[in-house]
Amino acid sequence: MAQQAYLTETDNGGSGPDRRGTRFRRLLGRRARRFLDGWRGDRRIWRRGLVLTALALALSLVMVAHARIPNRYGNLGSLTETFLPWLGLFVPVLLVGALVRRSATALIAVVLPAVVWLNLFGGLLTDKTGSGGELMVATHNVNADNPDPARTARDVAASGADVLALEELKASAVPTYEKALASTYPHHEVVGTVGLWSKYPLSGVKAVDIKLGWTRAMRAAVATPEGPVAVFVAHLPSVRVKMEAGFTARQRDKSADALGGAIADEPLPRKILLGDLNGTMNDRALNAVTSQMRSTQGAAGSGFGFSWPASFPMARIDQIMVSGVEPEASWTLPRTGSDHLPVAARVKVTTSGS
């Protein structure tokens, strides 16, 4: 009798969570079949969704040919390249639209921008972080209006960086940073509104002229145990988006060209650039710099590493770039009192070419 009851319960699909799960799968399967049957019986699936199809093709074209979008009118090309990764958000929107419209044409078209986006940025979705690297560097735009510079200094020093660059240093706040960082970094130099703190001796410190009329860039040689490394610290001019003028970045672009020239003239083979470049690696206007240096985030990071604004990071405009050394890891640090996130990287100084 007990055996018969057991068999009856088994034949009825059991009870509890297993039975509810089986019912859900059957219901889902029936709805999926009904959905597909509706598509198969609809002769208009190839004629509907032409607007969505056109939008998908246009999105693909913008991502593929972003370098050809002219900067002549409001620096539209640079503006597009600054937020280029975010164009991928339109792909799921178009996908949902194609499903709602029951358009096979639009569904196929949506595949194209998805493939293009993955080709451009898919590599940033993987973790390329390594465990090596003899030198840790960090950079932070501390914000001239930072309400607590002492705490910000302690926070970035706690990262363990061997070399630390700070930008947007207000003259009245410099003594506060110097005092807070003195115990960790015995060597430091402040030039204009940028500064460099190091656990290793500095030499050859000088201002770098980036065509502004005041000093927002510097160069120094850091005597690491593995040999000298030229470190540049830069804060390029800000950019603005204005209704009447578009993306105003002419001064930033001029300064980027000057910075690229100074880096190219550097005699030391091992170079590191730390700073707020007010631009992303996709922005063609930074080509004078990006053509000769590698981004540590792109080479050894995990994710996009967005650094600005700190409350909701949308772009990586704070950069660590290298030439003659090998990136091993790159990441953002926790938020401080600034409107930027600090960024850090570990690099291997003793490369095979050294």
172: domain CATH number?
Answer: 3.60.10.10
Q: Is residue 335 part of a domain?
A: yes
- Is the residue at 217 inside a domain? yes
Q: Please give the residue range of the domain that contains residue 92.
A: 42-125
Query: Of 125, 150, 181, which residue constitutes the final position of a domain?
Result: 125
Count of alpha carbons within 13 angstroms of residue 275, beta-carbon side: 27
Please tell me the predicted confidence (pLDDT) of residue 250. 83
pLDDT score, position 229: 98
Residue 10: the pLDDT is 45
Q: What is the reported pLDDT for 45?
A: 85
320 in a structural domain: yes
111 plus 222 within the same structural domain: no
Q: What is the pLDDT of residue 292?
A: 97
Per DSSP, 15 falls in state S
Distances 36 to 22, 103, 119 between C-alpha atoms, Å: 21, 12, 31
Does 248 share its domain with 339? yes
| Distance from C-alpha of 94 to C-alpha of 117, rounded to nearest angstrom | 14
What pTM was estimated for this model as a whole? 0.85
Question: What pLDDT was estimated at residue 189?
Answer: 98
Q: Could you give the CA distance from residue 158 to residue 224 in angstroms, rounded to a whole number? A: 20
| 93 and 197 housed in the same domain | no
Q: Is the same domain home to 79 and 225?
A: no
Tell me whether residue 222 is in a domain: yes
5 belongs to a structural domain: no
With respect to residue 61, please indicate whether it lies within any of the assigned structural domains: yes
Cα–Cα distance for residue pair 74/241, rounded to 1 Å? 9
Residue 35 located in a structural domain: no
**End position of a domain, from candidates 70, 95, 125:** 125
Could you count the other beta carbons within 10 Å of the beta carbon of residue 287? 14
Q: Can the peptide bond before residue 309 be classed as cis, meaning omega within 30 degrees of 0?
A: yes
Give the model's pLDDT for residue 245: 43
Instruction: Average pLDDT across each block of 10 residues of the chain; the chain has 354 residues. List them in order.
Output: 46 56 67 57 80 97 94 83 96 96 93 97 92 95 97 97 98 98 98 98 98 95 97 92 58 95 98 97 95 96 96 97 97 97 96 51
Same domain, 119 and 167: no
